[in-house]
Structure 1
Amino acid sequence: MAALAGIFASSCVRDQPVPLSPVATAAALESRSLEDPRLRQFVLAATRPDAPPDAPIRWDLASLTAAALYYHPDIALAEAKLAGAKAAVITANERPNPVLNFTNIVGQGLVPGAIPIGAAPLTIGPAIDFLIDAFGKREARTAEALRLEQAARWDLAAAGWQVRGRVRAALLALWAAERRLALTKQRLALQDQLVELLEHRQAAGEASALDVSRERVSRAEVTLALHDLDLAASEARVDLATAIGVPDHALDGVALATEAFDHPHLLDGRAESGLWRREALTRRADIQASLAVYSASEADLKLAVAGQYPDITLSPGYSYQYGINQYQLNVLATLPIFNQNQGALAEAVAKRQEAAARFVALQAQIIGEIDRASVAYRKSTQVLASAAAMQADEARRARQIEKSFAAGQADRPTLVSTQVEAAITALSNFDAVLQQRQALGSLEDALERPLYGPDVLLALPQAQLPPPPRSSS
Structure 2
Amino acid sequence: MHGLSHRTRYLGYALAALLLASCGLQTYQPKPLQAEDRATRLQSADPFSQEFQAYLSSYGYQSLPLQQWGLVELGLTALYFHPDLQLARAQWQAAVAAEITARQRPNPKLGAEIENNREAQSGESPWTFGLSLEIPIITAGKIEARTARAIALSEARRIEIAQAAWQVYSRVASHWLDYQMTLQRIAYYQQRVAVQQAQADMLQKRFELGMLGSSELNRVKLELLRGQQLLGIEQAKLPARKAALAYSSGLSETTLERLPLRDWEPERMQQAPPLDSAALQQAALLNRLDIRAALARYSAAEAGLRLEIARQYPDFSLSPGYMFDQGDRLWQLGIASLLNIANKNQGLIAEARALRETEAAQFDVLQAGVLANLARSRANYGAALDFLAQAERLYQAEDQHFSQLQRQFERGLIDRLQLAEADLNRLQSRENKLLAAEQLQRATLELEQVLQRPLHSDSSVPPGLRSDTKPRSDIGPRSDIGNDLTAASAPSKSGTPPQAQRNDASTRQEPGQ
**Do the aligned residues in 2 keep the contact of 1:160 with 1:457 (CA within 8 Å)?**
no
Contact 1:139 1:468 (C-alpha < 8 Å) held by counterparts: no
1:151 pairs with one of 146, 153, 156 = 156
Counterpart in the other structure of 2:217: 212
Q: Does 1:324 align with 2:334?
A: no
TM-score (ref. length: structure 1) = 0.91
Which of 29, 33, 42 is residue 29 of structure 1 equivalent to? 42
- Distance in 1, Cα, partners of 2:422 & 2:270: 33
Question: Offset at 1:153?
Answer: 1.3
1:65-464 equivalence runs, <5 A: 65-107=75-117, 115-259=120-264, 262-264=267-269, 266-269=271-274, 271-451=275-455, 452-457=459-464, 464=473
Q: Could you tell me how far 1:465 is from its partner in structure 2?
A: 4.0
**Does the CA contact (< 8 Å) of 1:237 and 1:248 recur in 2?**
yes
Secondary structure of residue in 2 paired with 1:39: helix
> Is 1:161–1:457's contact at 8 Å kept on the other side of the alignment?
no
User: Out of 51, 55, 58, which is 1:38 matched to?
Assistant: 51
Distance 1:44 1:261, change over 3 A: farther
Deviation of the 1:262 alpha carbon: 4.2
| Matched-pair contact (CA < 8 Å) for 1:188–1:222 | yes
Per-residue deviation, 1:167: 1.0
Task: Name the count of aligned residue pairs.
Answer: 460
Q: Which residue of 1 aligns with 2:495?
A: none
Which 10-residue stretch deviates more, 427-436 or 116-125?
Answer: 116-125
Equivalent position amino acid for 2:352 in 1:
A
Opposite residue 77 of structure 1, the aligned amino acid is: L
Q: Deviations over 1:439-463 (max 9, x none)?
A: 0110011111123235523799966
- Aligned CA distance change for structure 1 residues 220 and 344 (closer, same or farther; 3 Å): same
User: Structure 1, residues 235-259: CA drift from partner, whole Å, max 9, x if none?
Assistant: 2211111111111111113111244
Alpha-carbon distance in structure 2 between the residues aligned to 1:423 and 1:265 = 19
Structure 1 190/118 Cα, relative in aligned 2: closer, same or farther at 3 Å?
farther
CA deviation string 1:298-322 (max 9, x = no partner): 1111111110101111111122334
Q: Write the distance in 1 (CA, Å) between the matches of 2:223 and 2:103.
A: 74
User: What SS does the aligned partner of 1:12 have?
Assistant: coil
Q: Which amino acid aligns with 1:453?
A: S
Q: Deviations along 1:67-118, whole A, 9 cap, x unmatched?
A: 1110011110111111111111111111110122334444556xxxxx4434
Contact 2:48 2:65 survives alignment (8 Å): no
Q: Is the 8 A contact 2:287 2:451 kept in 1?
A: no
Deviation at 1:166, TM superposition (A): 1.0
The percentage of aligned residue pairs carrying the same residue is: 30
1 CA distance for matches of 2:294 and 2:215? 66
Determine if contact 1:143/1:468 at 8 Å carries over to the other structure: no
Counterpart AA for 1:67: T
Distance in 2 (alpha carbons) for counterparts of 1:167 and 1:346? 45
Counterpart secondary structure, 1:170: helix
Aligned residue for 2:157, secondary structure, equals helix
Residues 106 and 117 (structure 1), Cα distance of their counterparts in 2 relative to 1, 3 Å cut = same
The two structures have a TM-score, normalised by structure 2, of 0.84
Q: Which amino acid aligns with 1:87?
A: A
Q: Deviations over 1:406-425 (max 9, x none)?
A: 33332211211221122122
The answer for unaligned runs of 5 or more in structure 1 is 110-114
C-alpha distance in structure 1 between counterparts of 2:53 and 2:163, whole Å: 24
- More displaced, 407-416 or 307-316? 407-416
Alpha-carbon RMSD across the aligned residues, in angstroms, is 2.3
Q: What is the alpha-carbon distance in structure 1 between the residues aligned to residue 242 and residue 92 of structure 2?
A: 31
Q: 1:127, CA displacement in angstroms?
A: 1.5
Q: Deviations over 1:185-243 (max 9, x none)?
A: 11011011011101111110111222222222211221121121122222221111111
Deviation at residue 360 of structure 1 after TM alignment: 1.3
- Distance verdict in 2 for CA 1:445–1:467, change over 3 Å: closer
Rounded to whole Å, the distance in 2 between the matches of 1:416 and 1:252 is 37
In the alignment, which residue of structure 2 is the partner of 1:112?
none
CA contact (8 A) 1:387 1:429 kept: yes
**Structure 2: runs of 5+ lacking an equivalent:** 1-13, 479-513
Change (3 A) 1:384 1:330: same
The code of the aligned residue for 1:137 comes to: K
Amino acid at match of 2:21: F
Question: Within 2, Cα distance between the matches of 1:32 and 1:231?
Answer: 27
Is 2:70 aligned against 1:60?
Answer: yes
